[in-house]
């Protein structure tokens, strides 16, 4: 299917985009890969599309241990960039585990972070879904919910966020730079997302017209030698995560001095595992420490009828990721 047609405006300057984007019925499009899926299934029907893909926001720079990624950079360019590969291989790993070669050539960083959930009820126009139609109910909660979240859910929505990149960025404490007509602001990555309320579940905290201009990561290249993105899926490639874990460790003199862990496929936003991180710091890498981190990772998980397997899976995934980078099994 196709949706109703729209007016097309190509933005060449950020201030133009911001002015246009705040208008009623307008939406931004960057790579267009999520937007067009939504439009074709009747889930997005803007009056005007403001194409921001040619805004000069695709630069990648690294200076003084701050990596700055222009939000309109394409995923494949980011994954192939030497500064990313050398200083933040976790980002490259997460990107290369995403979608397909073709889609990575099209998709932008900003668009990837703002893609909507893959919950099949959300993506089927007629079904009950609070995220799509507030107050209509949640088809997934008592329906097919193998894909659903373990953490951060509400009675009204149990969807997960699908981005792999966001999980890696959450682990690296990335900041999102947002421009609006009122000026520029910075958000911690998790604050880009909202937890669901009882009958509504908007995904992002951005206001209409806000543009993500960049993502920046400070003081994290110390994790470069020990980081991994572990993505578990039913087939070997080209599938959204069933569960994923971004893990990074810093080990000095046989002791873990810093740990970062975030999980994907288990929550409405990339889920930082602070408890697990705390349990690792100050300990020697090894079986006991990793098992403790695994146990803490699943604390508070609330399963539904068909996704309980994600609990042991998440635990195992955390342990496996730590084994991979911890230098010991």
Binding residues for ligand SF4 (CB under 6 A): 117, 119, 121-122, 129-131, 138-141, 157-159, 201
Of the candidates 16, 19, 27, 281, which one interacts with ligand FAD according to CB under 6 A? 27
- Greatest distance between any 2 Cα atoms in the chain: 62
The binding track of 243-262 with respect to other proteins, each residue x by CB under 8 A or -, is --------------------
Quick one: what does residue 122 bind among ligand FAD, ligand SF4, other proteins, none, with the CB cut-off 5 to 8 Å set by partner type? ligand SF4
For residue 315, state whether it binds other proteins (rule: CB under 8 A). yes
- Site track 45-64 with other proteins (rule: CB under 8 A), x = hit: ----x-x-x-----------
Task: Please name every residue paired with 77 in a beta bridge, in sequence order, or none if there are none.
Answer: none
If contact means CB under 5 to 8 A according to the sort of partner, which of ligand SF4, ligand FAD, other proteins, none does residue 129 touch? ligand SF4
Interface of this chain with other proteins, residues 90 to 129, rule: CB under 8 A: 99-103, 105-106, 118, 120-121, 123-124, 126-128
The yes or no reply on residue 117 touching ligand FAD (CB under 6 A) is no
Characterize the bridge pairing of strands 48-51 and 26-29. Answer: parallel
| Burial (CB count <10 Å: 0-12, 13-18, 19+), residue 75 | buried
Site string for ligand FAD, 145-164 (x = CB under 6 A): -----------------xxx
Of residues 157 and 178, the one with the C-beta less far from ligand SF4: 157
Q: Work out how close the CB of 236 gets to ligand FAD at its nearest, in angstroms, rounded to a whole number.
A: 12
Q: Which stretch binds ligand FAD (CB under 6 A): 98-106, 185-193, 216-224, 312-320?
A: 98-106
C-alpha–C-alpha distance, residues 284 and 129, integer Å: 46
Instruction: Please give the Cα distance from 24 to 267 (Å, whole number).
Output: 31
Question: Does residue 60 contact residue 35 with C-beta atoms inside 8 Å?
Answer: no
Select 201 or 289, whichever has its Cβ closest to ligand SF4: 201
Stretch near other proteins under the rule CB under 8 A, chosen from 63-71, 151-159, 229-237, 271-279 = 229-237
263 near other proteins, judged by CB under 8 A: no
**Contact between 112 and ligand FAD (CB under 6 A)?**
yes
Q: Is position 314 an interface residue for ligand FAD (rule: CB under 6 A)?
A: no
For every residue of 90-135, DSSP letters joined together read HHHHHHHTSS-HHHHHH-BHHHHHTPPP--TTTTSTTS-BTTTSTT
DSSP of 141-166, one letter per residue?
A: TTS--TT--SSS-BTTB------HHH
Cβ within 8 Å of residue 212, ≥6 positions away: 71, 109, 110, 113, 114, 176, 177, 178, 179, 206
For residue 198, CA distances in Å to 102, 135, 142, 266 come to 38, 9, 15, 18
Instruction: Kindly tell me which of 84 and 159 has the beta carbon lying closer to ligand SF4.
Output: 159
Using alpha carbons, select from 106, 74, 80 the residue that is nearest to residue 93.
Answer: 80
327-to-130, 259, 277 alpha-carbon distances in Å? 45, 14, 17
* Residue 40 binding result from ligand SF4, ligand FAD, other proteins, none, given CB thresholds of 5 to 8 Å by partner type: other proteins
């Amino acid at each position: 299917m196709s949706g109703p047609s729209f007016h097309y405006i190509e933005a060449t300057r950020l201030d133009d985009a911001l002015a246009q984007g705040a208008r009623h019925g307008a939406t931004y499009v960057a790579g267009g890969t999520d937007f067009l899926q939504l439009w074709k299934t009747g889930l997005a029907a803007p009056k005007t599309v403001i194409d921001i893909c040619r805004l000069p926001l695709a630069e990648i720079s690294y200076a003084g241990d701050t990596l700055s990624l222009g939000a309109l950079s394409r995923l494949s360019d980011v994954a192939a960039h030497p500064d990313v590969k050398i200083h933040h291989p976790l980002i490259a790993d997460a990107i290369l585990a995403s979608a397909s070669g073709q889609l990575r050539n099209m998709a932008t960083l900003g668009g990837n972070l703002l893609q909507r959930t893959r919950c099949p009820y959300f993506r089927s126009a007629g079904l009950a879904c609070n995220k799509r139609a507030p107050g209509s109910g949640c088809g997934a909660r008592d329906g097919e919910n193998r894909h659903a979240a373990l953490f951060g859910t509400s009675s009204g929505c149990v969807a997960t966020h699908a981005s792999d990149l966001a999980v890696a960025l959450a682990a690296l404490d990335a900041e999102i730079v947002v421009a609006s007509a009122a000026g520029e602001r910075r958000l911690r990555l998790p604050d880009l997302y909202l937890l669901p309320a009882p009958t509504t579940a908007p995904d992002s905290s951005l206001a209409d017209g806000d543009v993500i201009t960049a993502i920046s990561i400070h003081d994290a290249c110390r994790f470069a030698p020990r980081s991994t993105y572990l993505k578990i899926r039913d087939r070997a490639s080209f599938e959204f995560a069933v569960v994923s874990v971004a893990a990074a460790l810093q080990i000095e003199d046989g002791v873990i001095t810093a740990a970062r862990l975030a999980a994907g496929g288990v929550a409405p936003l990339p889920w930082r595992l602070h408890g697990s991180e705390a349990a690792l710091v100050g300990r020697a890498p090894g079986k006991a420490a990793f098992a403790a981190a695994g146990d803490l990772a699943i604390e508070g998980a609330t399963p539904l009828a068909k996704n309980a397997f994600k609990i042991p899976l998440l635990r195992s995934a955390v342990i496996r990721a730590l084994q991979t980078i911890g230098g010991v099994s």
